[in-house]
Structure 1
Amino acid sequence: MKVTLKGIKDRDAFDKAGIALPDYDVARVQATSRNNPVWLHFGAGNIFRGYIASLQHDLLSSRSQTSGIITLSTHDGAEVDRVLSPHDRLALETTVLRDGTLNLRVTAAIANSYKLNGSSPADEYDVRALAPRPSIQMISYTITEKGYVIRDIKGNFLPEIKKDIESGPVAPCHTVSWTAALLWERWQAGAAPVAMVSFDNCSENGNLLRDAVLTIAREWESRGFVNQAFIRYLSDEDSVTFPNTMIDRITPYPDRDIAARLTAMGIEDMEVYTSKKGAHMAPFVNMEKSRYLVIEDKFPNGRPQLEKVGVLFTTARGVQLFERMKVSACLNPLQTALALYGCIFGYEHISDAMNDRQLINLIRRLGYEECLRVVDSPMIVTPREYLNEIFKERLTNRALPDTPARIATDTSQKIRMRFGYTISAYQKRGYALTSLVALPLALAGWLRYLMAIDDNGHTMKISDDPMLSELSRRMSEIIFTRPDSVERTLRPLLSNETVFGQNLYEAGIGQTVENLFKEMITGPGAVRATLIRYMG
């Protein structure tokens, strides 16, 4: 069996293997998408192919939609060259159940794909022609949290952003710059309305996208590349909106063991790739069954009827409440704490860390006792019900091949929302920060992880992070087994408001984190001893 347009014509083979196939005319959908595009999307990674594109596939299957999604890549183009094109943009959706069963289906919602990374001028020309089409209702994103970062920790524009600002909308490189350029094309062609929708797992993602795009556009306006009328178009919610969203589906990197299982079933070309820039990809996407997507309902040009396939549309406040429940209390802080300590203890999978008594105690206290105390209910599901599902169904799914290393990626970009909100909420509600134990342990665990030495005293690999070089340099100044070398190094970091949202020393928790960290560097086994001391 081959996951290609030609391959899926052998329906009997796929049926015998229990693999569902598209029940609509894929060629017609692709043609309709070219002539009357509805949805453009930046990024073609795992969460997009396994969840977002899956939703449009469901609408196509129910005949509620006739057009698919066109993907745009500003990265290295590996997703297009290695995954999408060889498989005619089909994806093998692999849902991993707790008993190890794989629910499989082929989806075909991706109608076309273009590379906007300088390697294909023809693609760039075509996309600039597509962007003004009045039929386009939304342009969306799964580019990770760091995709919206346009300044460094000192407030200076990143080198690629500076280059884009100086060159104008003619030759952008960064995704945010391309976004501003395509909106400029749209404005020039008649200023048709459109929604710009981030699906990335970061706080107020729509606001982040809007602020970044407007910053680029205003820099261009100051240099004469665009005019004030264009800035007004971007700022007018009757024309361009940036809805906030909250997405939740654990989608690990594609797993080689699952690839082997698929190959053993007779499915060809299921290799797992790692691109030159470190992206992990495969023609299949392995993911959990649970899924949530909440979207602020602001679409000035209409939208696909995603509510028919389980998407929840609400107000900005509704999205904010669900996001804070997930990102700041019930899931992401727990995942981060598990991942950091899981790396330090050498665990291969998150589910392995869930067999560790001290780590279970850590995240139970963090979730049920410390974070839950200050989280408001989004009403869609209560925080306690959501947290119960996390412990009973999701983090304990041993069949789901999620790794501590994946979750530890880009922690510097996540830690402000995953822990900083709870600290602020305690202050606002008059709760004593001295009552927090698991949260400062999680922060101290991040610092200990950054030393790149596991609890046995051996060197370990650190996951990618935009601040990795700076953080590694700073942490290298600490002498292992010398707690007296800590203060000079940690104080500037724990005082950094960009990373934590506030100065942790002024908040009254910085010294606690520093002291816990000191306990963790007294020698091999010190991390475990510290957790036992506080978590039993």
Structure 2
Amino acid sequence: MSNTMNTPYNRDLVTPGIVHIGVGNFHRAHLAVYVDDLMSMGLAMDWGIVGAGVRPADAAMREALKAQGYLSTVIELDPSGKRARKIGSMIDFVEVSEGNAPLIAAMSRPEIRIVSLTVTEGGYFIDPATGRFDPDEAEIRHDAQNPSAPVTAFGAIVAALRNRRAAGYAPFTVMSCDNLPGNGQVTRSAVVGLAALSDRDLAGWIDAQVAFPNAMVDRITPATGDRERGIAAELGIEDRVPVTCEPFRQWVIEDRFPAGRPPFENVGVTFSDHVHAFEVMKIRILNGGHAIIAYPGGLKGIEFVHQAMADPNIRAFLERIETDEILPIVPPVPGQDLDAYKDLIVARFSNPEIADTERRLCLDGSNRQPKFIVPTIRDNLVQGRLPKGLILLSAFWCRYCYGEDENGQTIAPNDPNWAQLTALARAARVNPDAWIRMESVYGDLAENEDFRTTFHEALTAVWAQGVDGSIRQFLTA
């Protein structure tokens, strides 16, 4: 593919303004698309994206994109028809190298005014038990001892900010595009916390001078495999790494960009001081909903999300929990009808063109459950409600981590802590307390007798009656 193919603007006129760390499918279907939309309007031509990464997979993505002039094909999978477009907002991708010198150099350039990240929910070095930055992680300890040759994205950001302060350049804004509560505050904690381990003066300067806006991001973007490459081929497109996604996208962000920003409001981005409210709505209704359909579907051997939504028991399970246990504890959101938002989520999950997999939704439960499910359980209990559906979901997760589905098929490892989870799930078959005593996930919930008793009953039902039987029992109780 040539550098100018299928873009309505001259990419030779685009200059860099953003370094983005973590060039996966979500970034290319979200931030890169918004910037591309602006460039197609003749705007933001000085906000070109320079890709970057700190992991081996990032190097592979760099090679694939470099071979096609850093263009990406984004294919929207609408049931009414597929729509493909070339995204040209990324104009470079720095070399991925040990010590991250090229990345640090790129972020140190004065024209870079935003550094954005998609490093996954689990990539922020958060202690799950406290929800705070964990300075004892091995990679963080390495970066504290080797601040000029870091291995993490946050170490590279600290090094670049050190360079910019020394050169008299204004600091860039650090903008997380990851799906986690308070992503701006979490990013600030990681960057400032890491800096403080080696240079407290620099840490104080970063805390005082660098903006970390909170944001809520949303777009369902499956992993790329043979199916997705086949869709591109059917459309006559050559692309080694095409992106497929749903038509829907949303981005709500705080307007805190001291070094400037693209005019994102022109392309549908919502700037709000109430990002937290949008974030709670999305994390609890959408991400929580994903978990609700993931584990029963995974246990039944269902491959795709839309197939799980076509299963009457799983769909009824989702609808009941969303209506009775999630919506009542989601705070009001400016300009949003929560029931309509829930209906939109159900429709998005049911889109057969996406072919999102149950396995992807089941991934990394040890990191996602404490963020997407446990807070909702806790809030229900505080308000005097017993969320039996969410507790049953937690039992499904436990049963899934046993490592074998209801058809007797082995479930391949699907969590960074899979070995530990499998051991606990097997112990929990005899003693359910073994599971809910995981403080990194449940905190002190095991001390709540209502939660403990209900979990025992739920896990016993899952083993005795299977997914369908235990869901029917819940729905008819």
Relative to the length of structure 2, the TM-score reads 0.93
Contact 2:172 2:210 (C-alpha < 8 Å) held by counterparts: yes
The 3 A distance-change label for structure 1 pair 310 and 491 is closer
Contact 1:74 1:115 (C-alpha < 8 Å) held by counterparts: no
Q: Deviations over 1:460-499 (max 9, x none)?
A: 2242x23223212322435xxxx5x224522422xx1x32
Is 2:4 the counterpart of 1:46?
Answer: no
Q: Which amino acid aligns with 1:105?
A: R
Per the TM alignment, residue 294 of structure 1 is displaced from its structure 2 partner at its CA by 0.4
| Aligned partner of residue 508 in structure 1, secondary structure | helix
User: Which structure 2 residues correspond to residues 326-475 of structure 1 after superposition, within 5 A?
Assistant: 326-328=282-284, 330-391=285-346, 393-428=347-382, 430-433=383-386, 436-463=387-414, 465-475=415-425
Query: Which residue of structure 1 lines up, in the alignment, with residue 463 of structure 2?
Result: 521
Q: Which amino acid aligns with 2:370?
A: R
Provide the rounded CA distance (Å) in 2 between the counterparts of 1:380 and 1:459: 46
Query: Which residue of structure 1 lines up, in the alignment, with residue 447 of structure 2?
Result: 505
Query: Which residue of structure 2 lines up, in the alignment, with residue 234 of structure 1?
Result: 206
The 3 A distance-change label for structure 1 pair 369 and 24 is same
Per the TM alignment, residue 115 of structure 1 is displaced from its structure 2 partner at its CA by 3.3
Provide the rounded CA distance (Å) in 1 between the counterparts of 2:35 and 2:62: 23
Provide the rounded CA distance (Å) in 2 between the counterparts of 1:374 and 1:248: 21
Per the TM alignment, residue 449 of structure 1 is displaced from its structure 2 partner at its CA by 0.7
Q: Which amino acid aligns with 1:456?
A: N
Q: Deviations over 1:353-386 (max 9, x none)?
A: 0111111111101111111111122123221111
Relative to the length of structure 1, the TM-score reads 0.83
Contact 2:18 2:50 (C-alpha < 8 Å) held by counterparts: yes
The 3 A distance-change label for structure 1 pair 526 and 141 is same
User: Which structure 2 residues correspond to residues 128-527 of structure 1 after superposition, within 5 A?
Assistant: 128-149=104-125, 157-167=136-146, 169-221=147-199, 227-228=200-201, 230-236=202-208, 239-268=209-238, 270-271=239-240, 282=241, 284-315=242-273, 318-328=274-284, 330-391=285-346, 393-428=347-382, 430-433=383-386, 436-463=387-414, 465-478=415-428, 483=429, 485-487=430-432, 489-493=434-438, 496=439, 498-506=440-448, 508-522=450-464, 526-527=466-467
The 3 A distance-change label for structure 1 pair 303 and 357 is same
User: Which structure 2 residues correspond to residues 48-127 of structure 1 after superposition, within 5 A?
Assistant: 48-67=27-46, 68-76=48-56, 77-99=58-80, 101-118=81-98, 124-127=100-103
Q: Which amino acid aligns with 1:285?
A: V
Q: Which amino acid aligns with 2:143?
A: D
Contact 2:135 2:193 (C-alpha < 8 Å) held by counterparts: no
The 3 A distance-change label for structure 1 pair 250 and 303 is same
| Aligned partner of residue 384 in structure 2, secondary structure | coil
Contact 1:444 1:517 (C-alpha < 8 Å) held by counterparts: yes
Per the TM alignment, residue 46 of structure 1 is displaced from its structure 2 partner at its CA by 0.2
Provide the rounded CA distance (Å) in 2 between the counterparts of 1:125 and 1:80: 18
Provide the rounded CA distance (Å) in 1 between the counterparts of 2:458 and 2:409: 20
Provide the rounded CA distance (Å) in 2 between the counterparts of 1:53 and 1:162: 33
Per the TM alignment, residue 130 of structure 1 is displaced from its structure 2 partner at its CA by 3.2
Contact 1:243 1:295 (C-alpha < 8 Å) held by counterparts: yes
Provide the rounded CA distance (Å) in 2 between the counterparts of 1:476 and 1:83: 42
Q: Which amino acid aligns with 2:210?
A: V
Quick one: which of 21, 24, 38 aligns to 2:9? Answer: 24
The 3 A distance-change label for structure 1 pair 253 and 404 is same
Q: Which amino acid aligns with 1:233?
A: W
Contact 1:150 1:158 (C-alpha < 8 Å) held by counterparts: no
Per the TM alignment, residue 92 of structure 1 is displaced from its structure 2 partner at its CA by 0.5
Query: Which residue of structure 2 lines up, in the alignment, with residue 279 of structure 1?
Result: none
The 3 A distance-change label for structure 1 pair 492 and 183 is same
The 3 A distance-change label for structure 1 pair 473 and 177 is farther
Contact 1:324 1:375 (C-alpha < 8 Å) held by counterparts: yes
Q: How much identity, in percent, do the aligned residues show?
A: 27
Q: Deviations over 1:143-181 (max 9, x none)?
A: 1111102558796722222222222x2110012222222
Provide the rounded CA distance (Å) in 2 between the counterparts of 1:170 and 1:98: 50
The 3 A distance-change label for structure 1 pair 491 and 258 is closer
Q: Deviations over 1:276-299 (max 9, x none)?
A: xxxxxx2x1100011110001111
Per the TM alignment, residue 342 of structure 1 is displaced from its structure 2 partner at its CA by 1.1
Provide the rounded CA distance (Å) in 1 between the counterparts of 2:451 and 2:334: 31
Per the TM alignment, residue 253 of structure 1 is displaced from its structure 2 partner at its CA by 1.0
Q: Which amino acid aligns with 1:5?
A: N
User: What is the aligned residue count?
Assistant: 471
The 3 A distance-change label for structure 1 pair 527 and 80 is closer
- The farther-off stretch of 202-211 and 379-388 is 379-388
Contact 2:36 2:87 (C-alpha < 8 Å) held by counterparts: yes
Q: Which amino acid aligns with 2:228?
A: I
Q: CA RMSD in A?
A: 2.1
Query: Which runs of 5 or more residues in structure 2 are unaligned?
Result: none
Contact 1:132 1:192 (C-alpha < 8 Å) held by counterparts: no
| Aligned partner of residue 165 in structure 2, secondary structure | helix
The 3 A distance-change label for structure 1 pair 129 and 206 is same
| Aligned partner of residue 69 in structure 1, secondary structure | strand
| Aligned partner of residue 373 in structure 2, secondary structure | helix
| Aligned partner of residue 206 in structure 2, secondary structure | helix
Q: Which amino acid aligns with 2:74?
A: E
Contact 1:40 1:138 (C-alpha < 8 Å) held by counterparts: yes
Q: Which amino acid aligns with 1:346?
A: G
| Aligned partner of residue 416 in structure 1, secondary structure | helix
